[in-house]
Structure 1
Amino acid sequence: MPLTHVLLPNPTALISPSSTSTADALPSPTQGPTSWFNTVLNMVSKDPIRLTYLSTLVSQKTSVPIASAQQILQTGNYVLRVKLGTPGQLMYMVMDTSSDSAWAPCSGCTGCSDSVFSPVNSTSYQSLDCTTPRCIQVRGQSCSSTVGPCLFNQTYGGDSSISASLIQDSLTLGHDVVLGYVFGCINAISGKSIPPQGLVGLGRGPMSLFSQTGPLYKGIFSYCLPSFKSYYFSGSLRLGPLAQPKSIRTTPLLQNPHRPSLYYVNLTGISVAKKLVPAPPELLAFNPTTGAGTVIDSGTVISRFVQPVYEALRDAFRSKLNGTISSLGAFDTCFDTRYEEPPVVTLHFEGLDMVLPAENTLIHSSAQPLACLAMAPAPSNVNSVLNVIANLQQQNHRILFDLVNSRVGIARELCN
């Protein structure tokens, strides 16, 4: 039987090894009349709002199960199976690499789902007031004096918002128990983009999971995202240096002061059928002054590139097809798979190439033998050049983030 490992605030000791089993089945999803392709179209439709939102913005082996939220929450995100409080209350919380804070719907929440965290049923729950140092760090705090609970408001996804109280309680990740984890207890929500059972911020800010557990996981984590169609918690979030691949190609992790929470990388080019796409280099270049560049994001569904880059990629892809090209929803390059062999797309980063298999390049219609290029232009209202490598392109890859050594690793790994 595996041991439970407890992390106290500011720990000084290592934890013991924990289990890495992740293949636990989900409840069977409700099957409705909507086709799989239409479901993905609906998921993708939320990407432009998210991109606008992004533009504003001691250890052993530990593994946390990941599943497609499409199968549980009917959203295009990925969820972690965690527990909050003592005794632990099971929650399916969205993992978000571009957010810092964590929050969960609490009892009595207005507009929330039925699956909420109950602080009164946790013996380790503690409310935080305006004098708490963490209250100063939380974005959107509304303390008018040093008296009273720490209240804050935050927007999410570009079209939604939460009102919450800052609290601390235990967070169970795999077999590790983090005591005194600070997160928001949601009192009310508005909009449709708020994850129903809350969110764990995996970004780079002071309120993120890795800022709160620095000595434990040493700022190193990785994940493998299963396909949207996977019915199991077969993906994994691996925490700490000893849980990571021994050999993996890496590219520099860049820091942008305009958007300090985001994971920037240096995308140097894109190839189609081994031929470099003629994209303007200045539209790929990292610019810490303006916030321009390329980010890796776990919450956007399909990769987005600024218009001229996308058009060059799309035109190169189309040039390798012989039949009729059609459009469907957000996808403007669709073709009959019975008569076409799609070209291979490769993303070139400084120090490594990410060769995308067909499953990371195409989205297939469930109603007809039709496939579409699963990429799109970034919305024109994003306030500077921002390209996003999204979760469909990351599926069945191990994505490693090493914050201490400022590097990102990418390697093919099947986790369906």
Structure 2
Amino acid sequence: MTTTALLFSLAILSFSLAQGLHPRSCDAPEQGSTLKVFHVNSPCSPFRPRTQLSWQDTVLQMQSNDKARLLYLSSLVAGRSIVPLASARAVVQNPTYIVKAKIGTPAQTLLMAVDTSNDAAWVPCTGCVGCSSTTYNSAKSSTFKPLKCGAAQCSQVPNPSCDGATCGFNVTYGSSAVTATLVQDNVTLATDSIHGYTFGCVQKTTGSSFPAQGLLGLGRGPLSLLSQAGNLYRSTFSYCLPSYKSVGFTGSLRLGPNSQPLRIKTTQLLKNPRRSSFYYVNLMAIRVGRRVVNIPPSAFAFDPNTGAGTVFDSGTVFTSLVKPAYTAVRDEVRRRMGNATVSSLGGFDTCYGVPFNVPTITFMFSGMNVTLPQDNFIIRSSSSTISCLAMAAAPEGNVNSVLNVIASFQQQNHRILIDVPNSRLGSRASHAARLANIWGWFGIFVCFGGMCCTKKSLSRVGFVGVGVAVRKSVTGFSDYLEMLNSHWLS
């Protein structure tokens, strides 16, 4: 390739990268049953920080949110509604990934946090005391319907109350409380319409400001999206999460059995009646590089009574492992790093100023291995040479001390399939991530159109393959490849 051609190719790439998400792309129509998934810091998100945090502050903030999130997960035991205040604020005020939903007739567009470990849909409603300005106005919807106390759904919410004709309920988060009524209205996701969708219309919050976004629960409970739209989506969905570094690109949430990946390894879903929303799986071992580390089987044992076991969760950022498992993984990483000086950053206790000498970490499930490249277990500073093992030990002293959580940082750039009818969970590295691993120095896909390319959009707008010497470890490169091809999996 001539110098002129190389410079031209790099200019095209730079232009495409700089475009990222154009405002018009944020409002681009979604197709079929596939929703765009935005990182909370995306240009399309009104919840992104007004001031840019340093890398260190960003990491510390994510760790803080995770601590609260894990406390929140410990509260999701059947029949329990008391949650520590900090965790409640974290789960609803600091979502990691959001999607667009249209509610009512005519439709009102709201952004909702995606939560695979929650059932309910929560929407801040107009007139709410303590809520933000972004609300759903039921008075403007001709299809709005409040549910009466005798409705079957009223018995499925925590602490139902029937002071009037409508079904109300209260949820307490420590010193904070949320008062809501149970209502129904039409909801549109991408091009799918769900008539009479039941959700909580928040009327009052005390103790903390309720979040601007709603909450879309993708768990397995009776009020979750999967249960309410069972005939439409057959309790099946998959998602591909964009990297937190690639805020200018989108992932995707595919609802229903159609267009799901065909060639994907899966493991059996386990059901815990005491934590019915959670997607439990059977984690059997962990491999660091080529070595299976020595972890007692009890660290992975599934026990519905104690909540022990392993779950996939979209709301937690960094994977947490029960102490014996985490210690074994950490010690093997440190062994491979030799005499390099180890430091800590917040909850991360294995950080280095030199490159990590660990190519992969593999989670070994029954019937499925998930091999993570460095981008899925090492978090790198954008302004220095510091890198950290992006995992932590499960918090001790509460129910989560026995719970392994496979979190979003480890899931990003993978297509995660949830197939409840066939009781299976699948994971597959995206097409672009595999290309990056195979090609190394070569291969950049440049997508025209200012948004993440799907297989369909590639055929529509075309792509340019540029063979240039650009290392995939350059910041954002592998993420860019991933976002271009996040749908190209089947």
TM-score range, shorter chain: 0.7 to 0.9
Contact 1:43 1:75 in 2 (8 A): no
Confirm whether residue 151 of structure 1 aligns to residue 168 of structure 2.
yes
Aligned to 2:64, which of 39, 45, 49? 45
1:332-373 per-residue CA deviation (whole Å, 9 max, x = no partner) reads: 111013x54334211111111111111110112233110101
Shift of 1:163: 1.7
Q: Give the 5 Å matches for 1:48-63.
A: 48-57=67-76
Among 152, 174, 178, the residue aligned to 1:162: 178
Moved more, 164-173 or 280-289: 280-289
State yes or no: 1:350 paired with 2:369: no
Displacement after TM superposition at 1:295 (Å): 0.6
Residue of structure 2 aligned with 1:172, choices 185, 188, 192: 188
Counterpart of 1:135?
A: 154
Q: Deviations over 1:228-253 (max 9, x none)?
A: 13334621111111120111100000
Of residues 202, 210, 213, the one that matches 2:226 is 210
Alpha-carbon displacement from aligned partner over 1:370-389 (angstroms, at most 9, x marks no partner): 01011011111332611100
Q: Which amino acid aligns with 1:283?
A: A
Deviation at 1:291, TM superposition (A): 2.0
2:109 to 87, 90, 104: 90
Percent same amino acid among aligned pairs?
Answer: 49
TM-score (normalizing by structure 2): 0.73
The reply to whether residue 197 of structure 1 matches residue 197 of structure 2 is no
In 2, Cα distance between the equivalents of 1:254 and 1:292?
12
List gaps (5 residues or longer) in structure 1. Answer: 1-16, 58-72
1:112 equivalent in structure 2: 131
Q: Distance in 2 between matches of 1:359 and 1:161?
A: 39
Give the letter for the 1:252 counterpart. Answer: Q
Q: Report the residue type matching 2:100 in the other structure.
A: R
* Partner residue in 2 for 1:308: 324
1:399 to 411, 416, 422: 416
Indicate if the aligned counterparts of 2:288 and 2:358 stay in contact, CA closer than 8 A.
no
CA shift, 1:31, in A, is: 5.6
Partner of 1:264: 280
Query: CA 1:354 to 1:23, structure 2 compared with 1: closer, same or farther past 3 Å?
Result: closer
Cα distance in structure 2, aligned partners of 1:159 and 1:378 = 25
Q: Aligned residues, how many?
A: 381
1:411 corresponds in structure 2 to 428
Report 1:368-383 matches (<5 A).
368-383=384-399
Shift of 1:412: 0.6
Unaligned runs of 5+ in 2: 1-30, 77-91, 433-481, 484-490
CA drift of 1:27 comes to 3.7
Contact 1:23 1:232 in 2 (8 A): no
Match of 1:6 in 2: none
- Measured in 2, the distance between the counterparts of 1:297 and 1:374 equals 16
TM-score (norm 1): 0.86
Change (3 A) 1:256 1:21: closer
Residue 18 (structure 1) aligned with residue 32 (structure 2): yes
2:100 is aligned with 1:81? yes
Among candidates 295, 298, 302, match of residue 314 of structure 2: 298
Q: Distance in 2 between matches of 1:136 and 1:53?
A: 22
Bigger radius of gyration:
2
Q: CA deviation at 1:160?
A: 5.7
Moved over 4 A (4+): 19-25, 28-31, 158-161, 190-195
- The offset of 1:148, in angstroms, is 2.0
Deviations 1:75-120 (A, max 9, x none): 3521011111111111110011111110111112222222111111
Determine the structure 1 residue equivalent to 2:406: 389
**Cα distance change on mapping 1:193 and 1:230 into 2, 3 Å:** farther
**Stretch deviating more after TM superposition (200-209 or 315-324):** 315-324
- Decide whether aligned partners of structure 1 residues 193 and 329 sit closer, same or farther in structure 2, where only a CA change above 3 A counts: farther
RMSD value, Cα:
2.3
Residues 1:35 and 1:412: Cα distance change in structure 2 (over 3 Å): same
